[in-house]
Amino acid sequence: MAPAWGRYVAGVVTVLAARGRPPVGLEAVLASGVPVGSGLSSSAALEVAIALALAEVAAWSLPPVELARACQEAEHVATGVPCGIMDQLTALLGRAGRALLVDCRDLAVEPVPLPETLVALAVHSGLPRTLAGSAYADRRAECRDIARRLGLRSLRDATFDQVAGFPGPATW
């Protein structure tokens, strides 16, 4: 059986081919120090790394936001999970010393300087995390349904007054 990460690679190859990437192969070695399932967007980082390598070897390119969309689609293909695009955008556009302000509606990305005195620490709990098999897709569907019921394009457009006291899914 192929390693689970092989699905992500296959997804990227498939999605980039559909976007016009010439069928040029490459030999590559995949190595990472990120613990599998640690919740550090490792699948998005893998997708972006594979996409950039495949684009480079084929002398082909996509604008960064379109490449992020392709990598997001590759994750959908690989896992069946309707993930968002934040992780792929961050893997492509993140820079040292900057946070990214990402608007997922229009995909505007703004680097925001971080204070030099700020220290970020990532700690691996030892508990695996994955979107596949989680309630992530259910939460997205519930948010879309609530927005629809409120007559809104997206739940992000709701005011506090609109959602205050709104019954949760358990009462629907």
In the predicted structure, residue 3 carries a pLDDT above the cut 70: no
In tens, the pLDDT along 109-143 reads 999 999 999 998 888 888 776 666 678 888 888 88
pLDDT higher than threshold 50 for residue 170? yes
Do residues 53 and 86 share a domain?
yes
**Residue 21 in this model has a pLDDT that exceeds 90:** yes
Instruction: State the sign of the Cα–Cα–Cα–Cα dihedral 150, 152, 156, 161.
Output: negative
Determine whether 103 is an active site residue. no
Boundaries of domain holding 130: 5-134
Are residues 163 and 81 part of one domain?
A: no
Task: Out of 87, 103, 138, 145, pick the active-site residue.
Answer: 87
Report the percent of the chain where pLDDT is more than 90.
Answer: 60
Residues 116 and 158 in one domain: no
Looking at the fold, whether 77 and 153 belong to one and the same domain comes out as: no
Q: Please indicate, yes or no, whether residues 130 and 140 belong to a single structural domain of this protein.
A: no
User: Which pLDDT belongs to residue 165?
Assistant: 76
Q: What is the CATH number of the domain that holds 130?
A: 3.30.230.10
- 99 and 139 share one domain: no
Whether residue 101 is found in the same domain as residue 25: yes
One domain for residues 121 and 152 = no
pLDDT top residue among 48 and 128? 48
Same domain assignment for residues 54 and 30: yes
Among 72, 61, 59, 58, which residue's Cα sits nearest to residue 15?
A: 72
Residue 2 has pLDDT above 60, yes or no: no
Domain match, 43 and 17 both: yes
For 37, residues 6+ apart whose C-beta sits below 8 A from its C-beta are: 128, 129, 130
What are 52-82's pLDDT values in tens digits?
999 999 999 999 999 999 999 999 999 888 8
Q: How confident is the model at residue 172 (pLDDT cuts 50, 70, 90)?
A: low
- Whether residue 115 sits in one domain with residue 53: yes
**Pair 83, 157 in one domain:** no
Provide the number of structural domains found in the chain.
2
The average confidence (pLDDT) of the chain is: 89
Q: Is the pTM of this model over 0.95?
A: no
CB within 8 Å of 136: residues ≥ 6 apart: 81, 82, 83
